[in-house]
Amino acid sequence: MGASSAAILGCAGTTLTREEEEFFKDVKPWGFILFKRNIADPNQVRALTAALRETVGRPDAPIRVARLQPPHWRTYPPGRAYGELVANDPLVAREVTRLGARLIAHDLHSLGINVDCVPVLDVPDPQGHEIIGDRAYGDTPEQVATLGRAAAEGLLAGGVLPIIKHIPGHGRAMADSHLELPVVKAKLAELDARDFAPFRVLSDMPMAMTAHVVYTAIDRKNPATTSKKVIKKIIRDSMGFDGLLMSDDLSMKALSGDFKQRAKDSLSAGCDVVLHCNGDMAEMKAVMSGVGRMSKEARRRAQAVMNRLVKVSEPLDIAEARARFDAAFDGKYA
């Protein structure tokens, strides 16, 4: 653990190139992320996850995936669909949300994937940008927190680690941080009561991903990812989050400066690790030029993260669980 670099990286294709193997062996990122470009079929994914872990010499190295699609994997509902079940019975919605996450964990665990970037805890604002969209579980902090907790518990029960995002809250942003830097001008009391509330409820989760969003009430210049004020005063102190904090993707256009500077700024602000997703080798080398080994505190948090992985998944009758899940949505996602 102590030898790991403070980074999570991607790769270009469905197998590792010789250059990628040598690069990952050299820089030893803490974890990896997979996207659609890296996914072909179950056997290929299992081989790729094994190859990635071999490069860093850690059989449990965190690997998360952003895209699993038919025909090899089923489609699951977006967060909003679970929230809409509340109209019938809040307890049913919570049970089905947990069940959906437990089934996702089953799918991921069988592939050697032990992290999922769920739950999204952003509370959407009616005037905000649509980027959060149907990923939000509902329109109130209470609903988002309740169903977010259910999703996180379902993943953990199945041997997969959840990541809460986008801390401290992206729902009020008026722009897409993939394309530009959102600036939120709401007062601190408003942010605290609505945007920050679900993250405070789930502050015990093992990992969180930052928002590339400026909150002028806290830091007029820097987005949360590179803001010492936001990370220390809000995320660590006010919310009480002591888990592993990762940046959102450094290649998003909300951030300024070159990749080396983005990485350095994120880590110096208080992120434990930085995330770079697209697998571009030149960009990854630039990122890693600004990344050192994980700090003592980051190593402590990383070990605590891995300790949250259950040794044996919660028992589950998959056929019965899928039938119950499909019935809840009237077969819409079967």
Per-residue confidence (pLDDT) for residue 88, from 0 to 100? 61
- Mean pLDDT over 37-62 rounds to 97
Position 269, amino acid: A
- Local confidence band at 242 (pLDDT 50, 70, 90 cut-offs): very high
The Cα 51–Cα 34 span in angstroms is 13
Helix axes 281-288, 259-269, angle to 10 degrees: 40
Look over the chain and give the mean of its residue pLDDT values, rounded to a whole number: 94
The Cα 326–Cα 334 span in angstroms is 6
E strand segments, the chain: 5-9, 29-34, 63-65, 115-116, 161-167, 183-184, 207-210, 214-215, 244-249, 273-275
- Hunting for tokens 């006010």 — which residue is that? 238
Per-residue confidence (pLDDT) for residue 301, from 0 to 100? 98
- Local confidence band at 205 (pLDDT 50, 70, 90 cut-offs): very high
Task: Kindly give the pairing relationship between strand 183-184 and strand 214-215.
Answer: parallel
The Cα 112–Cα 284 span in angstroms is 24
Summarised one tens digit per residue, pLDDT across range 111-157 is 999 999 999 999 999 876 677 888 999 999 999 999 999 999 999 99
pTM over 0.85: yes
Percent of the chain with pLDDT over 90: 85
Residues forming a β-bridge with 29: 5
- Is 178 part of the annotated catalytic residue set? yes
| CB-based contacts of 322, cutoff 8 Å, min separation 6 | 103
Q: What is the DSSP string of 289-311?
A: TT--BPPHHHHHHHHHHHHTS-S
Catalytic pick among 116, 122, 219, 248:
248
Domain spanning 74-276+294-309, CATH architecture: Alpha-Beta Barrel (3.20)
SS3 164: strand
- Local confidence band at 71 (pLDDT 50, 70, 90 cut-offs): confident
Q: Locate the domains of the chain by residue range.
A: 74-276+294-309
Give the total residue count for the chain.
Answer: 334
- Is 248 part of the annotated catalytic residue set? yes
The Cα 151–Cα 201 span in angstroms is 13
Summarised one tens digit per residue, pLDDT across range 319-331 is 999 999 999 999 8
- Mean pLDDT over 55-66 rounds to 95
The Cα 315–Cα 334 span in angstroms is 22
Are 309 and 159 a contacting pair, CB within 8 Å?
yes
Are 190 and 233 a contacting pair, CB within 8 Å?
no
Task: Kindly give the pairing relationship between strand 214-215 and strand 161-167.
Answer: unpaired
- Mean pLDDT over 31-56 rounds to 97
Alpha helices in 136-289 (DSSP H): 141-157, 188-190, 197-201, 228-229, 259-269, 281-288
Per-residue confidence (pLDDT) for residue 129, from 0 to 100? 67
Pull the structure tokens for residue 246.
């990762």
- Local confidence band at 86 (pLDDT 50, 70, 90 cut-offs): low
Catalytic pick among 26, 41, 60, 178:
178
Are 251 and 278 a contacting pair, CB within 8 Å?
yes
End-to-end CA distance of the chain: 40
Are 67 and 35 a contacting pair, CB within 8 Å?
yes
Residue 176, pLDDT > 80, answer no
Residue 2, pLDDT > 60, answer no
- Hunting for tokens 């994914």 — which residue is that? 45
